[in-house]
Amino acid sequence: MTADPAARQRRPSWIEQRTRMGPVINAAMHVRVPMSAKTMYFGGIAMFLFVIQAVTGTLLSLYYKPTPEAAYKSVQLITSDVNFGWLIRSIHHWAANLMILFVVLHLARVFMQAAYKYPRELTWVVGALLFMVTLGFGFTGYLLPWDQRAYWATVVGTEIAGSVPFVGETLLLMLRGGADVTGETMGRFFGIHVLVLPLSLAGLLGLHMILVHQLGLANPKRPEPRVPTKEFEEEPLRPFFPHYIVDELVAWYVLLAVLVVLVSVFPAGLEEQANPLQTPAHIKPEWYYLGVYELLKLVPRIIGILTPIVGIGLLVMWPFLDRRPEVRMRRRKLAVGGFSLIGIALVALTVWGYVS
Amino acid sequence: MSPDPSLKQTPEMTTKTRSSKRMTRTARIAATLGLTVFAWLGIALTASAEDPSASASAAPSAEVTPAPSLAPTPSHPVIPTPGPSDDGWLFATSEPSFGPPAATAPPLPSMPVHTAANGANSCYDCHSAVNDKQATIAAQWKDSAHGKGGIGCADCHGGDPTSDQITKAMDPAAGFSKAPDRQGTVGLCGSCHANPTEMKASGLPTDQYAKYWTSVHGQRLVSAGDTRVAICSDCHGVHDIKKVSDPSAKTFALNIPKLCAGCHADAQRMAPYGIPTDQFDVYSKSVHGVALLENKDVRAPSCVGCHGSHDAQPPTSTTVVEVCGKCHTATQDLYGQSRHSELSAAAPKCWTCHGTHDVSQPSSAMFFHDTPPNYTCDTCHDLTTHKLRLELSRFAKAEDRRCDTCHHPDSEIYAQIQGIATAITGAETAYADADAAIERAAGFGMLTDDADVALVGAKTSLIQAQAAIHTTKLKTVAELSADARQKAGDAQALAQSKIDESVFRREAMVIVIGLILACVVFLYMLKRKLDKELD
């Protein structure tokens, strides 16, 4: 052991000596965060929820049996007999709902702050893809308990997909693995839910984070110049670590508290086992599809089908359609107003779907 | 009460007068021989006899005392009915104004003569263009079971359906006849529908004609010439006859109560018969009526379920157990094991406790009055013969259909009933408690499948115990009730464990939230420190 403290301080750690990851980690810990940036932590919470989903989903898969004959009983077993099974399942259930909610909130925040504009267009596109993958998680995971609600919501959901012009029939057969919702459907939904979507989401999320890291957070008060200006270079920044990370941690803890209350007071339930011969009186999809479902009932079918497809197309391509550099909300009345109206309409349709 | 073997075509019986004379003669012979069943067949005017609250006719004879008639005072002269018979029914005591009951049904007429249609139906072609009324009739026929089944106008009216000339098509020489009278209508329908050869293709039964003449309707028509009674076309329609399976048919299961009520709820029409007209209203509120009319459960009995359709007649005191037992088979078996069933005519029957048209959901309230009724010797005994008797008027009101209507509080049987009541109410309370506990557990968001399964077992035992009341055996009821209580207790214990689990989770939640709050406070302090350093 050397007696020179300075020499000891300069000496790399045991891990660093064997990984030499120090520069990479140091680089990762430096993200450009303008003092005026306001993320509201929605994106970070969504990512935190994804990690929760990955962990709880893995634990659930230890007991879950993806066949129509065994799925329901295995979910019963997890909920009633497996130690803390109810907790894991309830967390997975509520975190899934919260994840969709926070992805939507994150998307709305980015839109309102025009954070999708130069140079973050691709970050937006990847984010929109992440949103769709998240919805895919909800759609495929919903069937897995194989209770009445799961089964019939999937029947309705796949029928909507089957109404898509030109490719609807093929899409329906692909989704269901046949004409009806059967064990074939469950097999492919399970495969998509635990393999295809997690890998897709992990890949897209990684890309999203790299882009965020490289581009930094957007300033909601002024657009980013295409050629760095003095003002941009001298913009006051907030250290990503530990300052911003501590803020995120507080948000995650608060979210965790909400999650704990939800799973304790409203644990995940289970209806009667799926019965393809007994159609329930009122079939409704989950809340995140309810708005679109109600729209389908209110307008001609073709319009109801095409509206969300066109909407998703617009969503993905929006940064390339709105190319004005302006980022302030009050100067973007058309975009902000239109987006708000669509949001209000979707919320109204969702509420209407619940009460009707 | 089966149709007389002489139910065949006999030309000498084609006129009502001759038929009536012959029937009168036959009935007198029957009465002389004491064949009281024929006396019953002749009455046709029983006051809703299965309903003890309705009229005197509900009381079994000999040992059964008639209740005072509760029917409204008729504004029309009441058609007198024959005197008491021995089959369990009482009738009005005044002399009948019509002939004695028929011994035989009218002969089955021949099918109408007509020229072979060979697919032609000039009747339809012309009548659909004559005027609106005829066009409506033609359209009704075309949409009817007959119209769709190839039964043409000439099959009922005769004539020549191949000719487009009115004088030829409607020529009496070609067999044409207008609509027959009401008795003739029954014969006209029967000429085909009682013919096995004709009915072979449709697969319909051929006994309706014979059954009809055994019904109260048929007997009044044939014996009293009462043309106000229901005939085939009143229920099935005339030109618009539809299959019974057709939901738009008047004879479809769900529509039958209203069909019968069309006449039987008509106070003016029923006035001459002195029978009540509230059966439909009462039935509509009964368990049977609610099941059929509100829940659209076609398995529930309508009027014909108990009274029969073509052979409609009120169940007698001796047959009511069999009538109810057609559906309630297990209960009928249990009743057969009881002391009640051994009491012959004085035996309490299904209706004694459950009512008739007003059958309601049974409950523990059916054991005892809040205040025991007044008892006198003749409450239960005929003062002359000292035999047990059943005074049906005591059961007229639903709130009086109680065990202690007959059984005195000081009697040994009363103590047994108390034992049965205690056992049943104990099991019911245990079941209700378990059900409430499960509901509470489900309200906490807990899965209650195992408790639900246990509760189903308790429900099964409870139903068995409740049904076993019909055996009147305390030991049987007590054993089944104990079983129900135990199973309900198991279900409640399972539910309670889930409630406890939920409470534990909420308590744990408070601790976890406390820990999270501590972490948040720590991080917030750290954040403030970092922000200060940044400033």
Prediction ipTM score: 0.90
Report pLDDT for B97.
35
Residue A269: its chain B contacts at CB < 8 A?
A: 445, 447
Cα angle A316, A320, A322 (rounded to 5 degrees) comes to 105
Res. B10: pLDDT tops 80: no
Tokens read off for B321: 């157990």
pLDDT band at B64 (very low <50, low <70, confident <90, very high): very low
**B444 CA: distance to closest CA in chain A (Å):** 7
Residue A76: its chain B contacts at CB < 8 A?
A: 447, 449
How many residues appear in chain B?
A: 535
Three-state secondary structure call for residue B82: coil
Please provide the average confidence, as pLDDT, over all residues in chain A.
Answer: 94
CA B275/CA B268 separation, integer angstroms:
11
Res. A105: pLDDT tops 50: yes
pLDDT band at A69 (very low <50, low <70, confident <90, very high): very high
| Residues forming beta bridges with residue B64, ordered by sequence position | B390
| Residue-wise pLDDT tens digits, B167-224 | 888 988 888 888 889 999 999 999 999 999 989 988 999 999 999 999 999 999 988 8
Report pLDDT for B115.
73
CA B463/CA B479 separation, integer angstroms:
13
Tokens read off for B284: 């509509």
Residue A81: its chain B contacts at CB < 8 A?
A: none
CA B442/CA B263 separation, integer angstroms:
51
Q: Do A264 and B508 make contact, defined as CB atoms within 8 angstroms?
A: yes
In the predicted model, what is the mean pLDDT of residues B144-161? 91
Res. B68: pLDDT tops 80: no
Res. A172: pLDDT tops 60: yes
CA B271/CA B273 separation, integer angstroms:
5
For B497, the closest chain A residue by CA position comes to: A80
| Residue-wise pLDDT tens digits, A40-52 | 999 999 999 999 9
**A272 CA: distance to closest CA in chain B (Å):** 9
In the predicted model, what is the mean pLDDT of residues B387-399? 85
Q: Do A239 and B534 make contact, defined as CB atoms within 8 angstroms?
A: yes
For A267, the closest chain B residue by CA position comes to: B445
Q: Do B505 and A264 make contact, defined as CB atoms within 8 angstroms?
A: yes
Give the CA count within 13 Å in the CB-facing half-sphere of B397: 4
Report pLDDT for B65.
40
* Among B506, B517, B523, beta carbon nearest to A249: B523
Res. B35: pLDDT tops 60: no
* Among B450, B508, B516, beta carbon nearest to A257: B516
pTM: 0.74
The one-letter code for the residue type at A133 is V
Q: Is the minimum CB–CB distance between A258 and chain B shorter than 8 Å?
A: no
**Of A140 and B6, which is predicted with more confidence?**
A140
Positive or negative, the CA dihedral B398, B339, B479, B459 is negative
* Among A253, A264, A265, beta carbon nearest to B520: A253
Res. B51: pLDDT tops 60: no
pLDDT band at A8 (very low <50, low <70, confident <90, very high): low
For A239, the closest chain B residue by CA position comes to: B534
Of all residues in chain B, the percent with pLDDT exceeding 90 is 57
Res. B60: pLDDT tops 90: no
For A81, the closest chain B residue by CA position comes to: B447
**A221 CA: distance to closest CA in chain B (Å):** 21
pLDDT band at B344 (very low <50, low <70, confident <90, very high): confident
Res. B67: pLDDT tops 50: no
Res. B11: pLDDT tops 70: no
In the predicted model, what is the mean pLDDT of residues B433-450? 96
Res. B102: pLDDT tops 70: no
pLDDT band at B7 (very low <50, low <70, confident <90, very high): very low
Element (H, E) at A353: helix A333-355
Q: Do A246 and B526 make contact, defined as CB atoms within 8 angstroms?
A: yes
Tokens read off for A275: 């019965």
Residue A261: its chain B contacts at CB < 8 A?
A: 509, 513
Cα angle A107, A109, A115 (rounded to 5 degrees) comes to 85
Buried b / exposed e across B444-453, counting CB within 10 Å, b at 16+? bbbbbebbee
Residue A256: its chain B contacts at CB < 8 A?
A: 516
For A237, the closest chain B residue by CA position comes to: B534
**B515 CA: distance to closest CA in chain A (Å):** 9
Report pLDDT for B147.
92
Res. A215: pLDDT tops 50: yes
Which residues 61-80 in chain A show a CB within 8 A of chain B?
Answer: 76, 79-80
pLDDT band at B20 (very low <50, low <70, confident <90, very high): very low
Residue A249: its chain B contacts at CB < 8 A?
A: 523
For A270, the closest chain B residue by CA position comes to: B447
Residue B465's contacts (CB-CB under 8 Å, 6 or more residues apart) are: B423, B424, B427, B477, B480, B481, B483, B484
B73, B59 in Cβ contact below 8 A?
A: no
To test the contact with chain A by mutation, choose from B452, B497, B504, B519 the residue with the greatest count of A C-beta atoms within 10 A, namely B519
Q: Do A260 and B516 make contact, defined as CB atoms within 8 angstroms?
A: yes
Res. A115: pLDDT tops 60: yes
Q: Phi/psi at B302 (nearest 5 deg)?
A: -100, -165
Residue A270: its chain B contacts at CB < 8 A?
A: 447
Report pLDDT for B479.
97
B259, B235 in Cβ contact below 8 A?
A: yes
Report pLDDT for B219.
92
B231, B310 in Cβ contact below 8 A?
A: no
pLDDT band at A246 (very low <50, low <70, confident <90, very high): very high
Which among B363, B290, B287 is positioned nearest to B324, based on CA atoms?
Answer: B287
Res. A196: pLDDT tops 50: yes
Report pLDDT for B320.
82
The full 3-state SS of A14-53, as one line of letters, equals HHHHHHCCHHHHHHHCCCCCECCCCCCCHHHHHHHHHHHH
pLDDT band at B73 (very low <50, low <70, confident <90, very high): very low
In the predicted model, what is the mean pLDDT of residues A308-327? 95
Tokens read off for B3: 């149709």
Separation in Å, CA B348 to CA A5, B114, B119, B390, B467: 108, 57, 60, 7, 16
Q: Taking an 8 Å Cβ-Cβ cutoff, which residues of chain B contact chain A?
A: 445-447, 449-450, 505-506, 508-509, 512-513, 516-517, 519-520, 523-524, 526-527, 530-531, 534
* Among B506, B516, B520, beta carbon nearest to A264: B506
Res. A312: pLDDT tops 90: yes
CA B140/CA B145 separation, integer angstroms:
10
A171, A157 in Cβ contact below 8 A?
A: no
Res. B62: pLDDT tops 80: no
CB pairs under 8 A between A and B: 55
Q: Is the minimum CB–CB distance between A107 and chain B shorter than 8 Å?
A: no
Domains and CATH numbers, chain A: 36-288 (1.20.810.10)
Residue with token string 């002391």: B339
Q: Cis check for the bond before A242: say yes or no (omega within 30 of 0).
A: yes
To test the contact with chain B by mutation, choose from A79, A256, A260 the residue with the greatest count of B C-beta atoms within 10 A, namely A260
In the predicted model, what is the mean pLDDT of residues A138-149? 96
**Of A282 and B483, which is predicted with more confidence?**
B483
Report pLDDT for A3.
54
In the predicted model, what is the mean pLDDT of residues B322-327? 91
Q: Do A250 and B513 make contact, defined as CB atoms within 8 angstroms?
A: no
pLDDT band at B48 (very low <50, low <70, confident <90, very high): very low
In the predicted model, what is the mean pLDDT of residues B128-138? 92
To test the contact with chain B by mutation, choose from A76, A78, A80 the residue with the greatest count of B C-beta atoms within 10 A, namely A80
CA A309/CA B200 separation, integer angstroms:
61
In the predicted model, what is the mean pLDDT of residues A247-269? 96
Please provide the average confidence, as pLDDT, over all residues in chain B.
Answer: 81
